[in-house]
Amino acid sequence: MLLLQVGFGASIVGFVDGDVGLTHIALVVSDIEETVAFYATYAGMRVVHDRHDADARVVWISDLTRPFVIVLAQGPPGEHPLGPFGHLGVGCESREMIDSRCDVARRDGCLVAGPTDSGPPIGYWAFLRDPDGHTLELSFGQDIAFTVSGNAG
């Protein structure tokens, strides 16, 4: 059993027995090492599973905040990337964290938009582009956890 909690010890989904609900998203990537480095730098994720299937390498990455992973499957370029608006969203601890990561992304040439303060419920956000063209949103102040917990049950 796993109790997922968010700020101030409030339960967001209660007890979970096994994999229930949204568990992953899978992306085809052309260079797993480059993509793992991108998500480690900008989303605080790390490899939690790494295997070589018969025809491809597959890696799972997670930020370890909930039972959710991004599955990265090595493959040829050409899959339709997630974006420009379709994106993976990562909540950050502060505006300063977003600003700092955006400074690095700007130098690395992968900052697409922002940071922008759109007020509630959108919050402070920025779009980055990963090595295969998938869009990553960094955000602060979206209050998704509280919105979901207020509608649970």
Separation CA 76–CA 61 (nearest Å) = 20
Query: Which tens digits make up the pLDDT trace of 78-112?
Result: 677 888 888 999 999 999 999 999 999 999 999 99
Phi and psi, residue 107, nearest 5°: -65, -35
- CATH number of 22-151, picked from 3.30.40.10, 3.10.180.10, 1.20.950.20, 3.30.70.2740: 3.10.180.10
Task: Indicate the Cα dihedral angle 17, 137, 36, 2, nearest 10°.
Answer: -10
Q: Under DSSP, is residue 74 helix (H, G, I), strand (E, B) or coil?
A: strand
Per-residue pLDDT tens listing for the chain (153 residues)? 444 444 434 344 455 566 777 888 999 999 999 999 999 999 999 999 999 988 889 999 999 988 899 999 998 876 778 888 889 999 999 999 999 999 999 999 999 999 999 998 889 999 999 999 999 999 999 877 777 776 765
Question: What's residue 11's pLDDT?
Answer: 45
- 110 phi, psi to nearest 5 deg: -120, 10
3-state class (DSSP) for residue 105: helix
Centre a 10 Å sphere on the Cβ of residue 139 and count the other Cβ atoms it contains.
Answer: 21
* pLDDT of 12: 45
